[in-house]
Amino acid sequence: MSKVTIYDISKKLNISAATVSRALNNNPKISPKTRELVLKTAAEMNYEQNTLALALKSGKSNTVGILVPYVDRNFFSSVIRGIEEELYPHGYHVIICQTRDDAQSEVQNINTLLNAQVDGIFMSVSKTTKDTSHIDRVLQKKIPLVFFDRKKNIPGVSSVTIDDLNGAYMSVEHLIRQGCKQIAHFMGDINLEIYKNRYNGYLKALTDYNLPFNKDYVIRTNSKAESGTAAVKKLMRLPSPPDAIFSSSDFTALGAIQELKKNGIRVPEDICISGFSNEPFTQYTDPTMTTVDQTPIKMGKMAAQVFLEQMGGEISVALEKKVVLSPQLVVRDSTNRSMG
Amino acid sequence: MSKVTIYDISKKLNISAATVSRALNNNPKISPKTRELVLKTAAEMNYEQNTLALALKSGKSNTVGILVPYVDRNFFSSVIRGIEEELYPHGYHVIICQTRDDAQSEVQNINTLLNAQVDGIFMSVSKTTKDTSHIDRVLQKKIPLVFFDRKKNIPGVSSVTIDDLNGAYMSVEHLIRQGCKQIAHFMGDINLEIYKNRYNGYLKALTDYNLPFNKDYVIRTNSKAESGTAAVKKLMRLPSPPDAIFSSSDFTALGAIQELKKNGIRVPEDICISGFSNEPFTQYTDPTMTTVDQTPIKMGKMAAQVFLEQMGGEISVALEKKVVLSPQLVVRDSTNRSMG
DNA sequence: TTGTATGCGTTATCAT
DNA sequence: ATGATAACGCATACAA
């Protein structure tokens, strides 16, 4: 059968279960002889430790929960990969929960994770989350919590994000160096920190390089390709259309490229376009798309490391660590005027 | 504090823990009065059931494990999404493990999942897996196991796959209806069932439509774009080059398209190309790519349903269910000759 | 060095 | 209808 316990081993060997337990856990207080014997018979009997009993006993489940809007978005699944790869060697399991960007689902998932006695929680906050009492509950229980990408500013909670402002700045700077002087921006929902920061990075680059700010060049978009085609139409109707677009999203940048090509406007010759996120498809568009890589796997690994630190330290000390990763500018053909 | 147990409630109410437990579980053998009372105070005290204790007691963890090569591959993360969404309403958690296509890692992960007392295991078998003793161990423990996409033929194990042969057949049939008569094939590793089936679907369509088979038109490729560029070069050097390519992979199809465009050969006017998998990027290539959708979310949902059925039935009956999903042909511009 | 006893939180069995 | 108790499998404080 399948359920061999330390008690079974103890019976077979005529010793106590406690001794078996000690042998199995390399407890120093045991004779080498019996230790060897126990280990051998345990192997023979195909003994496997019951993680559940251990978890109940120790209060430690060796499991962490990850909350993301959707697992099948490339960015999130890459972060998950990072977390899993960093935590697996430490014996942790990874439970995945999807919030579908729904605040209520987020609360529910937090609750079930708490019930499941996870040792830590990683989350990218849902778009619609306003109330944070469920997060407070996590903190009350002293469960390490790490935000990634989308965070709330809550004292005592660590987070791993990327420097969106700088990512935007690098992009715009790159466009300027390509000779562009009239740079437009596709702006996301600035209620979200990340988009506000990208917008600010755009502004900062313009300022630093003494380029004038033109409010007609800033178009509010969502993250769909259609939004990009609409935005670029608006731009091209301007008396003085831009010679570059810095988009806060790869998808809107794609929509723009498609619309421009349809109208015979060349990218990058007539107008340079850069996106944001380094979605896998950006390397396959025509032309290939310049974008900003958010290093999601690294983000996951960092988040995991922050968690491990937290676990290693004093239980009662909720150290708050804010890690800000540097994004990576990926230059491709959509902004490359030296192609020839 | 955070740890309020049924015992705490029982003390406060001067009743036994057993009664509290019964009240909480809607046990009929209890008076409505005390039931209400317990429920109310439980709510007041913020009682939450300890899932771990329950799991230890019942032997049921309400957790399933999913093994995939990499979580951040679109296909796999989509399957995971399907499984999660189907199982969440039933109270199951989902643990993710990555095998990195390494047989040894697969064995290890199976072991730890077994230790964690998961109630079921979903897996897409690693490419390198030969020995299946770890899988036998799962069966011995009567843990429901469901293969998806990549399976091994093991008696008693259910699986959910797609009808690759038919997907290939539909693709080639479509090419024929576009007027193509000399159809080449990029063939994957036929040690894997899926590629063998796609190849057979290709052959069947040729036969059914009375097109001659030309062995020079079948090129062995791996799933990289470079492999596709190399393959198409070879094809175009033939005395009579093909007028269509059915590729077993989106990536090789992409490489082919890129190479052809570079040489001024038009897609689809001069040659039609179709891929396989409906990778997200296929809708953004130029031209957009015709491909076969493997309905991964649906695959996940089906796998979950098979598991739930298994759980619902008799414990000792390992019913073996083979679900074969119909793939979806997605027609786009790379094969569309009526575009004008 | 080893054994005994206890508890982690719950539910099920057997009384009452 | 309710209470006392055992059991799930393990680890540890204490006793020997």
Are B117 and A71 within 8 A, CB to CB? no
Nearest CA distance, B165 vs chain A (angstrom): 26
Which one, of A268, A265, A266, A289, lies nearest residue A279 by Cα? A289
- 94-153 in chain A: CB under 8 A from chain B: 94-98, 111-112, 114-117, 140-142
Are B74 and A72 within 8 A, CB to CB? yes
Q: How many residues does chain A have?
A: 340
Q: Which nucleotide is nearest to B31 (CA to C1')?
A: D1
Terminal alpha carbon distance of chain A: 71
- Cβ-based contacts (< 7 Å) between B 9-68 and strand D: 14-19, 22, 28-31, 33-35, 53, 56-57, 59
- Strand C at less than 7 A from CB of B49: yes
d(CA A54, CA A66): 22
- Strand D at less than 7 A from CB of A145: no
Q: Which nucleotide is nearest to A58 (CA to C1')?
A: C8
Domains of chain B with CATH codes: 6-49 (1.10.260.40), 60-161+296-326 (3.40.50.2300), 164-294+329-339 (3.40.50.2300)
Helix axes B296-312, B74-87, angle to 10 degrees: 40
Find chain A residues with C-beta within 8 A of B114's C-beta: 48
* 3-class state of residue B68 by DSSP: strand
pTM: 0.93
Any bridge partners for residue B95, and if so which?
A95, B65
Are A63 and B98 within 8 A, CB to CB? no
Location of structure tokens 């899932």: B51
Q: Which nucleotide is nearest to A54 (CA to C1')?
A: D10
Both tokens assigned to A49: 């430790």
Instruction: Point out the residue among B2, B71, B95 whose CB comes nearest to the CB of A81.
Output: B71
Instruction: Point out the residue among B51, B74, B96 whose CB comes nearest to the CB of A80.
Output: B96
DSSP codes of every residue in A76-106: HHHHHHHHHHHHGGGT-EEEEEE-TT-HHHH
Rounded alpha-carbon distances, angstroms, from residue B116 to A51, A98, A243, B305, B310: 5, 22, 58, 22, 20
Contact B99, B127 (CB under 8 A): no
Contact A284, B281 (CB under 8 A): yes
What pLDDT is recorded for position A316? 47
Could you tell me if A63 lies within 8 Å of chain B, comparing CB atoms? Answer: yes
- Strand D at less than 7 A from CB of A2: no
* A149-200 tens-digit pLDDT: 988 888 889 999 999 999 999 999 999 999 999 999 999 998 888 999 999 9
d(CA B63, CA A332): 44
* 3-class state of residue A191 by DSSP: coil
Find chain A residues with C-beta within 8 A of B142's C-beta: 2
Q: Which nucleotide is nearest to B28 (CA to C1')?
A: D1
Quick one: which H or E segment has residue A63? strand A63-68
Per-residue pLDDT of chain B (340 residues; tens, 9 = 90+): 458 999 999 999 999 999 999 999 988 889 999 999 999 999 999 898 999 999 999 989 999 999 999 999 999 999 999 999 999 999 999 999 999 999 999 999 998 898 889 999 999 988 888 888 899 888 888 899 999 998 888 888 999 999 999 999 999 999 999 999 999 999 999 888 899 999 999 999 999 999 999 999 999 999 899 999 999 999 999 999 999 999 999 999 999 999 999 999 999 999 999 999 999 999 989 899 999 999 999 999 999 999 999 988 654 456 789 999 999 999 999 999 875 4
Contact B247, B282 (CB under 8 A): no
- 272-291 in chain A: CB under 8 A from chain B: 279-281, 284-286
Rounded alpha-carbon distances, angstroms, from residue B188 to A290, B1, B170, B282, B323: 31, 58, 18, 19, 23
What pLDDT is recorded for position A339? 56
DSSP secondary structure code for residue A69 in this structure: S
Instruction: Point out the residue among B51, B56, B285 whose CB comes nearest to the CB of A116.
Output: B51
Contact A128, A99 (CB under 8 A): no
Per-residue pLDDT of chain A (340 residues; tens, 9 = 90+): 458 999 999 999 999 999 999 999 988 889 999 999 999 999 999 898 999 999 999 989 999 999 999 999 999 999 999 999 999 999 999 999 999 999 999 999 998 898 889 999 999 988 888 888 899 888 888 899 999 998 888 888 999 999 999 999 999 999 999 999 999 999 999 888 899 999 999 999 999 999 999 999 999 999 899 999 999 999 999 999 999 999 999 999 999 999 999 999 999 999 999 999 999 999 989 899 999 999 999 999 999 999 999 988 654 456 789 999 999 999 999 999 875 4
DSSP codes of every residue in B233-244: HHHHTSSS--SE
Contact A77, A71 (CB under 8 A): yes
Are A49 and B115 within 8 A, CB to CB? yes
- Strand D at less than 7 A from CB of A49: yes
d(CA B272, CA B270): 7
What pLDDT is recorded for position B316? 47
Quote the radius of gyration of chain B (alpha carbons, Å): 26
Are A88 and B70 within 8 A, CB to CB? no
DSSP codes of every residue in A245-258: EEESSHHHHHHHHH
Q: How many residues does chain B have?
A: 340
What pLDDT is recorded for position B337? 83
Give the number of C-alpha atoms closer than 13 A to the C-alpha of residue A149, restricted to the C-beta side: 26
* 3-class state of residue A204 by DSSP: helix
Find chain B residues with C-beta within 8 A of A51's C-beta: 115-117
Could you tell me if A51 lies within 8 Å of chain B, comparing CB atoms? Answer: yes
d(CA A258, CA B316): 58
Peptide bond into A268 cis (omega under 30): yes
Nucleotides of D under 7 A from a protein CB: 1-5, 7-13
Any bridge partners for residue B149, and if so which?
none
